[in-house]
Chains A and B, each alone.
Chain A
């Protein structure tokens, strides 16, 4: 199985708090991604990275930000959480090369009260 880890698995927190969702992979993959999955199951790409010091916005606009200081680490931050941020967040990675499959973590289920 893929070695990609997300913490925390579940987070319930109040409005206005700063949140960081962690994602780490041990496969040495250059490419990493964040998806937001809504209750209807649909997945939307919100951020991706080609490698260290590279970050790009995805198809779905998001108030979150990401950083990529190390190859294995791709954290996502919300500076001031709001109820509209309640969702499941999935992190993924893939090796270099065209059209490679992505390996997913188990996700963080975030609830903002």
Chain B
């Protein structure tokens, strides 16, 4: 079946550092890929998405490129802020028209220190 593997945390960085959170996937067909962010006490918010190979999703300074050859969708940000502290989930959707839910990675807890 489909699966998503992302780097385990916590990841601790200083403010203004460069961020990479690795995500790789296993799926048949042509999944869509997503990054979600979960702030403390809240639900998940869609951060960015990519629907086909070589697509780049971007939002709020974050970006990720859908690499089919390496089955990866790594999240990057050039300069992180304390407010970026949260849990980040990589996910894929391969529903083929059905209603199956997203397949999530286990989440990466990001801590940004001032």
Using a CB–CB distance below 8 Å, which chain A residues touch chain B?
Answer: 1, 6, 31, 33, 35, 40-43, 45, 48-50, 54, 56, 58-59, 90, 92, 98-107
Q: Within the complex, what minimum Cβ distance (angstroms) separates B22 from chain A?
A: 17
Quote the shortest CB–CB distance from B46 to chain A (angstroms). 5
Q: Is A90 a contact partner of B93 (Cβ separation < 8 A)?
A: no
Q: Are B101 and A104 in contact (CB under 8 A)?
A: no
- Size range of the chain B interface in the assembly: 20 to 34
The count of A-to-B residue pairs whose CB atoms sit within 8 angstroms is: 66
A40 to B104, CA, bound (A): 13
CB-based contact A99/B93 at 8 Å:
yes
Interface class of chain B by DSSP: loop
Contact B106 A41 (CB under 8 A): yes
- Given contacts A99-B31, A99-B93, A99-B95, is CB(A45)–CB(B101) below 8 Å? yes
- The 0/1 profile, CB within 8 Å of A marked 1, for residues 12-55 of chain B is 00000000000000000001101010100111111001010000
CA distance A38 to B54 in the complex (A): 33
